[in-house]
Structure formats: C-alpha cells, structure tokens
C-alpha cells in the first residue's frame, strides 16, 4: 500500500514539477516586464492623464519583418457616463490607406457622430491595420469588450487569404484550419512563448532595416498567390473567415454589444484580374464590351465574375459578401450594403477609378461615402443613450483633404502599382527605380504638398511638422482655405493642443467665406476638450449662416459650461432677435452688459 502511495506521489510530481516550473518562468518574466509592449494592446497617452491609446507595438504579434501602422485615436481610460464610444475593426481600408487615418471612413464617421450628438463625448477608435484578417479581429475582440463600446463597426474580408496567418500566406507545411492560427495567437499571450520566440528567432523584426522595404507589402506577403475559385485553399479561406467571424460576433452578442458591418467594395470596372488567368481575363473583356454597349447589368455580373475568378485574391469574392449579408439575421447585428451605395454613387453604375485609388482602396470621396453610409445606420443604433443630444447639421460635402495628404497618398499608390502583383514582371531593382522616378516628378512639380510629401518619404521630416510648415507656407501665399485644411489634419496629430486650435480658429472666425472649414475645426475642438471657446465659435458661425436651430444647440452647450459667459449671452441675444423675440433679446443684452462689466 505504501509503495502504491509513493508511486502516485512520484507520478504526480513528474506532472506537477514541469507545470510549476513553466508557471514560475511565466510569472517571473511578467514581473520582470519582459515583452510588455507586445503583450498589452493599450498604453497610456504620454503627458495626458486619463487618456489611453492603442499600443503601436502590439501588432508585431501578427508579423515578422513588418509592423502595421495604427492611427492615433486616443480615448478616455474611464468611459464617461454620457459618452458615445464606437470601435472600428478591419484591415487597410479601415486604417484609411493610402491616406492617413484621419482621412479614412472611421474619422469621417466620428466627425458625423460628433455633429449628430453635439455635447456628448464622442470617441470613434480606429483599430484598423494593414494586412490583417479575421484572426486579428478575433484576437482583438477580448480587448474591445473591455473598452465597453456602444457599437462595434466591422469592415473586413479583403485580407482573408493573404493576411496574417491566412491560408495564402501560411507555409505549405502549416495546417489550413482555423484552430491553428487561433492557437498560435493564444500562445503569444504568454511571456514565456515570446521569450522562446526571441531565443530562436531573435528580437522583434519590424522591417525597419535598410532594404527591408524595397518591395511593397503585397509583393512580400504572398506565399501561395494562385488560389483557384472553389479550390482547396479557397474553401479553407472561406471556412477560416466564417469560423473566426462567427466567434467574433458570438463574443459581442454575449457582451450585449451591437455590431454594424459593411459589405466589401472594390474596383470592378478599372481593375483587370491580377492573376492574368485566361478565364478571368475573358470575363473581364466580355464585361468591357457589355459596358461599352451600355448593358450595365450584364457588365456588372461579368466584372464580378472576373473578380471572383482572379486567383490573386486581394479583392474579396462575392461569397464573402454573401456571408457578411447573412450576419443581419443574427441578433444585435446590422449590415450596411456598401456595394449598393458605391454602385449608386458611381456615374457609370459600376465603380472603378472614379471611387478607388487602386484595386480596392477608396478615394477620399469613396471614404467619405462610406462614412456617410455608416453614420446613417449607426446613429439610430446609438440614440437610445443620447435622447437629448443636439444636431448641428454641418455640411460634410466640403472637401477637407489637404494638398499634402493627397500627395502622400498619391506617392503610396504610385509605389504600389509599380510592384507585384500590378506589375507581374517587377523585381526589387525595377520597382525601386520606378518609385524614385515618381518621387522626382513630384519634387519638380512646384507644388508645396508634393515637395513636403517627398521630404517625408526621403528624410526624417515628420508628417505633423510637414503639416505645420505647409499651413504656414499657404498662409504666406494668402491661401487661407488650404492652410485651414492643413491645420485640420495637424489637429489629429495634436488632439490635445486646444490652445493652437483656439489660435487658428480665432484668426479666421471673422471671415464668413471660411465658415465651412472653421466650423469643422471648432467642432473637433469642442468634442475633444469641451471648452467654452469652441461652442461659442460654433454658435457665432451658425448664426451668421442663419442656421438658428444649430446655433441653439451650440449655445446650450456654451451655457452649460458658463451661464454668465458674455460671448454666449451676446450670441443668445442675436438668436432671440433673429427669431423675432425682441423682448427676450433686450433682457439677454442687459445680462450681456452686466457680464461684460463684471469681466472688465
């Protein structure tokens, strides 16, 4: 009996000791802070107490040799009780490529929601990243739930085959099953696993070494480029997307977080099949003939067939959109059919380079179209907690794309189209040479935006410094409108610099010809800082434009902050007089004079 007990104890020790050793190592590494930057999705914003943002090193868990950029969209560590918080998930189109994040659709959505829910702290947190797919969305879901969003917006699916751990980027020996990618990402939550990765593969490789980015990511990421429609790898990709996204939606449903998803859009009429396979090219040629003959319905079907037959699968197939549309049957999920919206917006009825910069990334107008479509659907989903919100009704059709941002995006597209798979014969030398020639063309154009964009690409000049320099140069030339567009972009890099915002708005507030731009800057400042100055500025602009209901919304917010504000009282008197209530206007003017005297 004693021997049997000792044997059981010995067996238990054989099992327990290795487990205890692993736990000891895991705890020790965590206490020592090993790989903290790569294990934690969020980190505090430096010098801004109470604010946090996405950790730019966290995406290194998905790649080696590449670190996706993530937009700087800080949010409050403690969600305000009356706050509106939206999290957006997706790939490069969600990140805003080829533009900076503040010209993508999530920032456009935020601006529209700030307008629709004036007076409420609105946060649209963009977690979109280049080259990620459903594995990344599933990995981020647990972090998103802890953020307590009122809504999650999803625009994802284009990267399903070639994104991180996708079936088209995985080595041949790797299993093409969702469990494998999920297991790897689960293991990477462990400090011990990251330590072993460091031991065998070396320190994190972010692709910052000279020469590491001679080729575009599209040229570097593909291991299995030819993926035949309905073939084994294609079906594995569909299973991967379906399985991972069902888990994502299950998690949000369990947490009672509503989801708004968008169908995927791409360049149909302007992008011939990248794979150059005979059946895909034949369908595309037939589509062009039907298109030229005015047979739009048949042409669209043929363009979609050509896209689906394209074996280089950087554009999502129609089957992925069918899956996304099916999510509308789930409780708490709504689907915005962006395909329909883009078809309607395209003058020809079939989107091409009129709405896209390349094979699938929208133009600035395309991103604004997405922001419009998502905001119309999102607003009713958020109204339950914002019943007394005001609506300023700002016109978002006025362009806010500055010349520098347009030039930056153009350079990135030039580089993309010069390399594989758009140029199937491209190699490192030829793509680099073509890119250099494009940079020289822009450098010699004589445009401020082009010169600054080239400087950003070839020198240490930071984008925010270039924006400030560009604004000052345009002011010196007397182009105030373009300077304001530069400042609008700059404020996304410096979202807490309320003093600069006030200085810029104050400089142009008296000019009615700039109202459409100044009011957007004022709204940005008001939503971020809730300072009296910005609400008063908004009220003044709306009064000058005879937008009395909008002026009332802004004045209510100014009054909430300071009921004795002389500027607010003066503007309220103007509003009352404009409405024909002269008695009330006289009383408010008396209060204004008293407040002015007290201030002096």
Of 334, 369, 373, nearest in space to 351 by CA? 369
448-490, pLDDT tens digit by residue?
A: 999 999 999 999 999 999 999 999 999 999 999 999 999 999 9
User: Is the same domain home to 408 and 553?
Assistant: no
User: Is the same domain home to 25 and 75?
Assistant: no
Q: Is 80 exceeded by the pLDDT of residue 599? A: no
pLDDT at position 221, please? 60
DSSP string, 398-441: S----HHHHHHHHHHHHHHHTSTTTSTT--HHHHHHHHHHHHHH
Which of 486, 510, 529 is the C-terminal boundary of a domain? 486
Q: Is 80 exceeded by the pLDDT of residue 133? A: yes
Lowest mean pLDDT segment, chosen from 36-50, 306-320, 343-357, 360-374: 36-50
pLDDT at position 387, please? 65
Across the chain, mean pLDDT equals: 91
Q: Are 405 and 98 in contact (CB under 8 A)?
A: no
User: Is the same domain home to 474 and 522?
Assistant: no
pLDDT at position 211, please? 57
Q: Is 90 exceeded by the pLDDT of residue 169? A: no
User: Is the same domain home to 420 and 504?
Assistant: no
Q: Are 107 and 101 in contact (CB under 8 A)?
A: yes
CB atoms within 10 A of CB 328: 12
pLDDT at position 223, please? 44
Residue 476 placed within a domain: yes
Q: Is 50 exceeded by the pLDDT of residue 177? A: yes
Q: Is 60 exceeded by the pLDDT of residue 390? A: yes
pLDDT at position 215, please? 67
Which of 486, 510, 525 is the C-terminal boundary of a domain? 486
Residue 325 placed within a domain: no
Range of the domain at 501: 497-600
Return the CATH number at 590. Answer: 1.25.40.10
517-546, pLDDT tens digit by residue?
A: 999 999 999 988 899 999 999 999 999 999
Q: What percent of the chain has pLDDT over 90?
A: 72
Which of 459, 486, 513 is the C-terminal boundary of a domain? 486
pLDDT at position 2, please? 61
User: Is the same domain home to 182 and 205?
Assistant: yes
Per mean pLDDT, which of 154-158, 188-192, 424-428 is the most reliable? 154-158
Instruction: Give the residue-averaged pLDDT of 271-281.
Output: 94
Distance CA 335, CA 374 (A): 9
Residue 597 placed within a domain: yes
User: Is the same domain home to 203 and 246?
Assistant: yes
The number of folded domains in the chain is: 4
User: Is the same domain home to 380 and 519?
Assistant: no
Return the CATH number at 118. Answer: 3.40.50.1110
pLDDT at position 213, please? 63
User: Is the same domain home to 207 and 345?
Assistant: yes
User: Is the same domain home to 11 and 75?
Assistant: no
User: Is the same domain home to 153 and 25?
Assistant: no
pLDDT at position 313, please? 93
Q: Are 194 and 188 in contact (CB under 8 A)?
A: yes
User: Is the same domain home to 410 and 548?
Assistant: no
pLDDT at position 212, please? 55
Task: Please give the model's pTM, rounded to 2 decimal places.
Answer: 0.93
Lowest mean pLDDT segment, chosen from 218-227, 321-330, 520-529: 218-227
Name the DSSP class of 356: B
81-132, pLDDT tens digit by residue?
A: 889 999 999 999 999 999 999 999 999 999 999 999 998 999 999 999 998 9
pLDDT at position 560, please? 95
User: Is the same domain home to 115 and 61?
Assistant: yes
Residue 585 placed within a domain: yes
Task: Classify the C-alpha dihedral 166-171-174-180 as positive or negative.
Answer: negative
């Amino acid at each position: 009996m004693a021997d049997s007990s000792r044997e059981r104890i010995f067996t238990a020790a054989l099992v327990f000791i290795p487990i205890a050793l692993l736990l000891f190592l895991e705890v020790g590494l965590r206490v020592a802070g090993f790989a903290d930057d790569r294990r934690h999705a969020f980190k505090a914003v430096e010098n801004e107490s109470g604010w946090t943002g996405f950790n730019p090193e966290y995406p290194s868990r998905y790649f080696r040799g590449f670190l996706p950029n993530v937009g700087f969209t800080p949010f409050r560590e403690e969600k305000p009780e009356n706050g509106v918080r939206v999290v957006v998930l997706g790939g490069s189109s969600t990140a805003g490529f080829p533009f900076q994040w503040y010209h993508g659709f999530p920032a456009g959505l935020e601006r529209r929601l700030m307008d629709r829910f004036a007076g409420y702290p609105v946060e649209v947190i963009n977690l979109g990243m280049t080259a990620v797919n459903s594995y990344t969305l599933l990995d981020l879901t647990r972090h998103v739930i802890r953020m307590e969003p009122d809504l999650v917006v999803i625009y994802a699916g284009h990267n399903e085959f070639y994104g991180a751990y996708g079936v088209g980027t995985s080595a041949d020996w790797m299993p093409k099953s969702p469990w494998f990618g999920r297991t790897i990402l689960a293991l990477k939550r462990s400090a011990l696993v990251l330590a072993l990765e460091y031991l065998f593969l070396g320190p994190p490789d972010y692709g910052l070494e000279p020469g590491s980015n001679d080729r575009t990511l599209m040229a570097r990421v593909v291991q299995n480029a030819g993926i035949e429609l309905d073939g084994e790898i294609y079906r594995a990709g569909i299973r991967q997307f379906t399985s991972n996204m069902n888990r994502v939606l299950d998690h949000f449903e369990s947490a009672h977080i509503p989801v708004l998803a968008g169908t995927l859009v791409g360049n149909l009429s302007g992008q011939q099949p990248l794979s150059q396979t005979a059946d895909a090219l034949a369908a595309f040629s037939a589509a062009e003939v039907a298109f030229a003959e005015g047979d739009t319905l048949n042409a669209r079907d043929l363009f979609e067939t050509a896209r689906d037959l394209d074996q280089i699968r950087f554009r999502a197939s129609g089957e992925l959109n069918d899956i996304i549309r099916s999510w509308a049957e789930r409780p708490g999920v709504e689907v915005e059919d962006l395909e329909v919206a883009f078809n309607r917006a395209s003058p020809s009825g079939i989107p091409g380079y009129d709405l896209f910069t390349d094979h699938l990334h929208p133009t600035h107008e395309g991103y604004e179209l997405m922001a419009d479509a998502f905001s119309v659907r999102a607003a009713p989903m958020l109204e339950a907690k914002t019943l007394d919100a005001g609506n300023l009704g700002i016109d978002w059709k006025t362009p806010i794309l500055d010349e520098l941002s347009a030039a930056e995006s153009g350079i990135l597209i030039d580089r993309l189209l010069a390399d594989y798979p758009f140029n199937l014969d491209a190699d490192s030398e030829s793509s680099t040479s073509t890119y250099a020639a494009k940079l020289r063309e822009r450098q010699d154009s004589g445009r401020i935006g082009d010169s600054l964009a080239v400087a950003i690409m070839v020198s240490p000049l930071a984008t925010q410094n270039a924006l400030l320099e560009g604004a000052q140069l345009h002011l010196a030339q007397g182009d105030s409108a373009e300077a304001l567009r530069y400042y609008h972009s700059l404020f996304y890099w410096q979202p807490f610099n309320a003093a600069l915002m006030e200085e810029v708005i104050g400089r142009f507030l008296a000019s009615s010809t700039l109202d459409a731009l100044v009011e957007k800057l004022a709204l940005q400042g008001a939503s971020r800082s809730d300072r009296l100055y910005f609400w008063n500025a908004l009220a003044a602009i709306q009064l000058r434009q005879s937008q009395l209901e909008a002026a009332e919304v802004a004045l209510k917010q100014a009054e909430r902050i300071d009921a004795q504000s002389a500027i607010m009282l003066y503007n309220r008197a103007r509003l009352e007089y404009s409405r024909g209530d002269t008695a009330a206007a006289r009383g408010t003017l008396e209060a204004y004079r008293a407040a002015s005297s007290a201030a002096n």
